[in-house]
Each structure stands twice: as structure tokens, then as C-alpha cells.
Amino acid sequence: MGLEVYINGEFFDRSDAKISVFDHGLLYGDGVFEGIRAYGGKVFRLKEHLKRLYESAMMIMLKIPLKIEELEQAVFATLQKNNLHDAYIRLIVTRGEGDLGLDMRLCHHPSIIIITDKIILYPDELYRKGIKIVTVSTRRNISEAVNPCAKSLNYLNNILAKIEAVNSNAHDALMLSVEGYVVECSGTNIFILKNGALLTPPAFLGVLEGITRNVIIYLAKEFGIGVQEEPFTRYQLYNCEECFLTGTAAEVMPVVEVDGRVIANGKPGEITRKLSRKFKSLTRREGASIYK
């Protein structure tokens, strides 16, 4: 059986899963989304992802046509339909079909799309050895423009950064704020270990508050590791003891080189490995079962 995609309450084979070319999600990137993971038949931090989805929708004045409990059940149904226990879930809500103008009032029926499939962002070898990232010229969107707190379908800012990284033969792009502070990578949050404490950029710089980011902050505090959400520069990043990225797809990815500077001894650090192991263990223990 092929992959089945959920669209507005119905399931379609991936080859028949279609939306209108007049959908404003396609025409203008007008919509919101979440990337979610299922581990062993349990969806990790589903309520947190759904809460962020509805908050993103509120930010862009998009009314999701299902209650949060109904959307949760739709996610479970899509996983069951595809017989997936370990999966990446892409949950999308678009403004819906309208005309070629910008007036969102002409889009009367938002579209809900749920895709469940496998995802491999990085090969296992890179989790053991770490990755190289490079600072790019594309700055992170400012909050007064396209607010990064809203996880919208308008992802061109991140894509432009990723293009620069690919052109530089780096694994990911480091994005700065307009003031020059470290913000995040193209699709992940960033942490550094400096003087025995973890630093991660605060949300007001233009950071998307990642679900995995918040889990790592919680786990670090459980281990007795201090965590500070405060601005820092590339100078501090270049001279840190450890660096790693976090994200739903990436999980916990060690960084061993930034802009040609080797971080510490050029190997994933002890704290990074410890948090990664704890995170993996947590994903298998916690989560909303798809067979409630």
C-alpha cells in the first residue's frame, strides 16, 4: 500500500494528494505548519506542537477549522492509516482557495494537510563525528517583519540561508540578527557550552522557540547544568567548549566546526553526548499513543 495523505478529512494516495493552484498557501506561503515526530507508536510532545500551531495561526489571523482535540485525532488516524510507528509528521494549515489577490477574506475554507513519512536529515556518522556550519549573509527575519515566532509556510528566509550553506559545502547555515548576534541555523536552534553553562539565544532576537530546544533546556537543568537564554556573538561561539543544534528532525546534532574554526578538540562534547542520549531515551518513554 502506498503512502496516504490526509486532506480535509479524507485520505488520498500520494499521487492523488492535491490542492487547488489558487490556494493561498501555494500562491503566497500563507499558512502555518509543524514538523512532529513519532517514536515507537507514540507522538512526542504533540500537545506542545499543536499549541504552537494554533498560536502561529492566531498570529496570522488564520482560523483552524478543527478543534485541537480533533486535529490530534486526525494525526493519529494518519499514522494508523500508513501503519507507521516511527515517523516524521508534517502538519499544514493553509489559508485555502481564493483568487490571485492578497485579500484573505476571499479564502473561505482553510485546508488541513497531514503527511506522515520517514525522514533522515543527517546520516548516523555525522551524529558521531559532528557537522560543520558556516555563517551566511542572509539575516534572520526581524519580529517587526515576518515574525519568526510564527511557524509559517513563508520559509524563504530559511531557504536562502540553506542555499548559502550548500554553496559553501557546509552542513548548515548560521543566521545572525540584524545586530550581528547569533540567532539560529536554517531549521534548528543552537546551543553553546561556555564556562560550564549552556547559552542559547533568546526568543526576542528572532528565534523560533523549538520544542526540542525547550526539552533540552529542561534536561540540562535536570542534570544540574546552568542554562542562560541570552544574546551572544560569534566570538563566544568560536571560543566555546561545545556546540550543538536541536530540532524535531535533527534531534541533537553536534557542531565541531564553525566558519573554519574548530570547536574545542573538534569532537562532539561530553555534555552534548549526554543530552543526546537522554533525549533519545525520553522520546521512547514519553508521548501520546497513536492507539488510544
State how far the alpha carbon of 199 is from the alpha carbons of 43, 48, 180, 189, in Å: 28, 23, 16, 11
Contact 44, 50 (CB under 8 A): no
Grid coordinates representing 271 are 555534555
Contact 263, 257 (CB under 8 A): yes
User: What is the distance, to the nearest Å, from the Cα of residue 241 to the centroid of all Cα atoms in its chain?
Assistant: 25
Grid coordinates representing 81 are 492509516
User: Would you list the DSSP string of 86-136?
Assistant: SEEEEEEEE--B--SSS-GGG--S-EEEEEEE---SS-HHHHHH-EEEEE-
Beta pairing, strands 131-135 & 172-176 = parallel
User: Would you list the DSSP string of 213-257?
Assistant: HHHHHHHHHHTT--EEE----HHHHHT-SEEEEEETTTEEEEEEE
DSSP assignment, residue 205?
A: G
Contact 208, 245 (CB under 8 A): no
| 144: exposed, middle or buried (Cβ count in 10 Å: 0-12, 13-18, 19+) | exposed
Residue 274 appears among annotated catalytic residues: no
Catalytic residue among 18, 67, 81, 151: 151
Provide the annotated active-site residues: 151
